[in-house]
Amino acid sequence: MADARPPLGPITFALLPADDVAEAYRLESLGYPADEAASHEQLVFRQASAPHLFIGAYASVGDVPRRLVGFIVAPATAGARLTAASMKAHDPVGTTICIHSVCVAPDLRRRGIALAMLRHYVRYLRGLARGESPAQALAAAAATESASEPHRDSTASDKPVTAPRVATLAAKQHLVTLYEQAGFSVLGESALVHGADKWIELSLVL
């Protein structure tokens, strides 16, 4: 049977600009239950306060030459674990990256986008952990991705940011394997109360 899905071009990664927050919110609303999805205001805050931690995945889809196909967003915290408080703030000198959303357009799921985004994000964070600027870390991450076209994000800052040490997130049980494939390790059931379901906390040392 022929694949009826629209053709998907090579994925590139860039800092998500303010102009794309509305589209990111649309994907967030489609991707999460209403009691879990971030509000538009929360995404605006995260993009404004920590733009270097809001990464968009872009690709040509069918006749659309460049479309936001997914994103990852995270603030930083000074604490060691993901908490409810860490979901509402960003500490510019925090060294724990709390990943809040890993979101893929519903019509493009099961095409490897989520894992590609996670692996890119980990490479990018490891660049920041080495003391690279966001621009340098994005370029270095893209250079190692055979599935991505070479791309320099002109919006990324050349100024260093606080070097992260750990990335953490909370996932539902059926998605744990995805995050393990990206290098994360299970810490156990999360104390986080967010929506109706239980969450599993995972972390990755950078």
Sorted by where each begins, the domain ranges of the chain are 12-164
User: What fold does the segment set 12-164 form as a domain?
Assistant: Aminopeptidase (3.40.630)
What's the mean pLDDT in 9-15?
95
- Helices 134-143 and 113-129 meet at what angle, rounded to 10? 130
- Beta strand 96-99 pairing with 166-171: parallel
* pLDDT top residue among 82 and 20: 20
- pLDDT at position 9 is 94
pTM comes to: 0.92
Q: Which tens digit of pLDDT belongs to each residue from 136-184? A: 999 999 887 654 444 556 567 777 899 999 999 999 999 999 999 999 9
Whole-number mean pLDDT of the chain? 90
Torsion of CA 195, 44, 141, 115, to 10 degrees: 30
Looking up tokens 């925090």, which residue turns up?
94
Six-digit token string for 85: 């408080």
The answer to whether 76 touches 54, Cβ cutoff 8 Å, is no
Beta bridge partners of 61: 8, 64
